[in-house]
Amino acid sequence: MKVEILKSSDGSHTLYLPDMDETYHSRHGAVQEAMHVFIQNGLLNLAEHKNDIRILEIGWGTGLNSLLTYKVAKQNGLNIHYTGVEKFPVPTEVLSELNYNVWDEDNYLSKAYSSSWEGQELLYENFTLEKKACDVLDLRFNEEFDLIYFDAFGPRAQCEMWEKKVFDIIYRATKPQGVFVTYCAKGQVRRDLQEVGFTMERLPGPPGKREMLRGIKQ
């Protein structure tokens, strides 16, 4: 599948798939979106009362969310176990062209990109990365994660990722009081997440989006 590199409004790169007319991040700012949705309303919100955090990301993509998670974890003394799931890993030669080195003073992404799939690696003293190249429907986790980053392509481009059977798997993977965050705020998505068991709330969205969703497994 053809992949193009685009510069988003905040200067950070994202990937564009012409065949799907879909970008990996917001055109209004890849880093801005990731920081707002996943870091500020996910990680930092949870870190107010928890230091050891297990994260599951659906849609590892370019690794940008994991880079920003590492940076914030280092700044705040957090212990992170990060599991990224990606059915179609982006070729390393494409990833190497992205300009995330501006935000990567510790050379995190070089280690993350070269780490093995289907294995766990301690990249830094308090940061373990596990990458899984598989379909989300094949996941069999049971209350293992404190925080879910749901960063699949949008429902228009990848509707099968936003079905209740996927949310059921994610709900089972989440610990009690665990947090779910996503950039998507569609009403049907919110209702389906509520139906599988999450208590949902709408929050102000990142630049270019009016709202986002956050849920808690009560």
Residue 198 has pLDDT above 80, yes or no: yes
How many helices, marked H, and strands, marked E, lie in the chain? 7, 11
Average pLDDT along the chain: 97
CB-count exposure of residue 43 (10 Å: 0-12, 13-18, 19+): buried
Break the chain into its structural domains and give their ranges. 28-217
For residue range 40-63, list pLDDT tens digits in order: 999 999 999 999 999 999 999 999
For residue range 106-116, list pLDDT tens digits in order: 999 999 999 99
Mean pLDDT over residues 195-213, rounded?
97
- What is the percentage of the chain residues whose pLDDT exceeds 70? 100
DSSP 96-118: TTS-GGGG-TT-HHHHHHHSPBT
The whole-angstrom separation of Cα 126 and Cα 124 is 6
CB of 83 within 8 A of CB of 55?
A: yes
- What is the percentage of the chain residues whose pLDDT exceeds 90? 99
User: First CA to last CA across the chain, in angstroms?
Assistant: 40
For residue range 115-161, list pLDDT tens digits in order: 999 999 999 999 999 999 999 999 999 999 999 999 999 999 999 99
Sequence-distant (6+) residues with CB within 8 A of 67 are 100, 103, 104, 108, 109, 112
Taking the domain 28-217, which CATH number applies?
3.40.50.150
Structure tokens that stand for 183 in this block: 């950039």
pLDDT range class, residue 1, cuts 50, 70, 90: confident
For residue range 62-82, list pLDDT tens digits in order: 999 999 999 999 999 999 999
Quote the pTM value: 0.97
